[in-house]
Amino acid sequence: MSPSTPLLRGVNLTEIESLALSSQLNMADGHARQELTKAQRSIVDELPDLFAKAAAQPVDDLEREAHRAYLHLLHQHSYPTRPGGVLTCYSSSVAMEILARSLVPAGGGPVALVHPTFDNIPDLLRGNGLRLLPVEEDVLHEGSVSAAVPEGVRCLFITTPNNPTGRVLAEQRLAAIAAECAARDVVLALDTSFRGFDTRSHYDHYAVLRDSGCRWVVIEDTGKLWATLDLKVGLLASSDHVGLPLAKIHSDILLGVSPFVLVLVTRFAEDAAAGGLADLHRFIADNRALVRATLADVPDLAFPDGDARVSVERVDLGERRCLDVWTRLRQSGIYVLPCSQFHWADPARGDHSLRIALARVPGALEAAVRALRAVLLSP
């Protein structure tokens, strides 16, 4: 065992990400840290006007505009427009906490959760006393639908596209899973925080969910796409008769998000719809290609998510242990994310992979990945 191992035992991914926050070569967290585009820069130049607009307009209108601009951008045309159908939160993790708390009094069995996924999802569920049952990605996406919805669960929670694998739940599969959830009265919950990056997740999920008749919740996140210095919102959308006290718990936590942030989200979403989103997809694809090309000649290395389009890339290290590689990189002030904690039910399965953030300035990404290459090539 390497001397570094105890250092990260019992430490969550966000704690590891926070070690990297002041580093020049922070390839750890999944937040957007690339440069603004010219069009985005001009929105920032207008901030005093946007502030005045936010102060002048009714917040209900601003909230409706932000939901509409963001969800239409991603082709989610059938999102609920009834009052309280989409609750606006400071972040998707706040939405997640509200969902987790709301599930507690619902009674019944454990929550089934995709495995692997970002560890704050299982941590927030467990932190509210809920028992978890892992559902492997392959079981979720292929084979019998009844296996994807384990017997006796109160909720099935799916991250799609998944973090860190980028795997996307196909429309037909979502329809089949939602039908199963409807038949067995299981709440179907989706976290679609990374959907902005992948057009394969731009089919209208809300139409599929509505038509299934199941009880459902969807968590959306504007925070992964644009480098707005964490000015963002999380959205908590739910079906008509979801039977969970979401609005009540939301009101326990907040009155509302800043109207200034709502206006900013609206403007960035409008710019994305006018071509910025396609540019962003090319930018991430280029950064992914840069990572793969830089590491191409390293033996015993693989990119397990060949098809991924999300703003993170996993690297399979072969025999090498991620904590050893992470520790050596850290000595040079370079940060990536070890993958053990993504495997929340079986951390050892992540011990040989790393996650590299792609929403970064290409020059910095290249410097970090060159350093990673040097570490991997030296014994």
Provide the minimum distance between the beta carbon of 302 and ligand EGV in the complex, in angstroms, as a whole number.
21
Which of 101, 165, 99 lies closest to 342 in space, CA to CA?
165
Residue 302 is given by DSSP the state: B
The residue among 88 and 120 lying less far from ligand EGV, judged by its C-beta, is 120
Provide the minimum distance between the beta carbon of 12 and ligand EGV in the complex, in angstroms, as a whole number.
7
The residue among 62 and 344 lying less far from ligand EGV, judged by its C-beta, is 344
What is the per-residue burial (b if ≥16 Cβ within 10 Å, else e) of 311-345? bbbbbbbeebbbbbbbbbbbeeebbbbbbbbbbbe
The residue among 124 and 209 lying less far from ligand EGV, judged by its C-beta, is 124
Provide the minimum distance between the beta carbon of 273 and ligand EGV in the complex, in angstroms, as a whole number.
24
Provide the minimum distance between the beta carbon of 93 and ligand EGV in the complex, in angstroms, as a whole number.
4
Q: 143 has which bridge partners?
A: none
The residue among 37 and 93 lying less far from ligand EGV, judged by its C-beta, is 93
Other Cβ atoms less than 10 A from the Cβ of 363: the count is 8
The residue among 177 and 336 lying less far from ligand EGV, judged by its C-beta, is 336
DSSP, collapsed to helix, strand or coil, labels residue 136 as strand
Q: What is the CA radius of gyration of the chain?
A: 20
Provide the minimum distance between the beta carbon of 30 and ligand EGV in the complex, in angstroms, as a whole number.
3
Provide the minimum distance between the beta carbon of 46 and ligand EGV in the complex, in angstroms, as a whole number.
27
Report helix, strand and coil shares of the chain as percent, to nearest 5.
50, 15, 40
Q: Residues interacting with ligand EGV, by CB under 6 A?
A: 14, 17, 29-30, 93, 118, 120, 163
The residue among 65 and 119 lying less far from ligand EGV, judged by its C-beta, is 119
CA dist list (Å): 169 to 112, 114, 159, 175: 16, 11, 9, 10
Which of 15, 28, 117 lies closest to 326 in space, CA to CA?
28
Q: What is the DSSP string of 220-278?
A: EESTTTS-STT---EEEEE-TT--S-HHHHHHHH-S---HHHHHHHHHHHHHIIIIIHH
The residue among 212 and 228 lying less far from ligand EGV, judged by its C-beta, is 228
Provide the minimum distance between the beta carbon of 164 and ligand EGV in the complex, in angstroms, as a whole number.
7
Nearest residue to ligand EGV, scored by beta-carbon proximity: 30
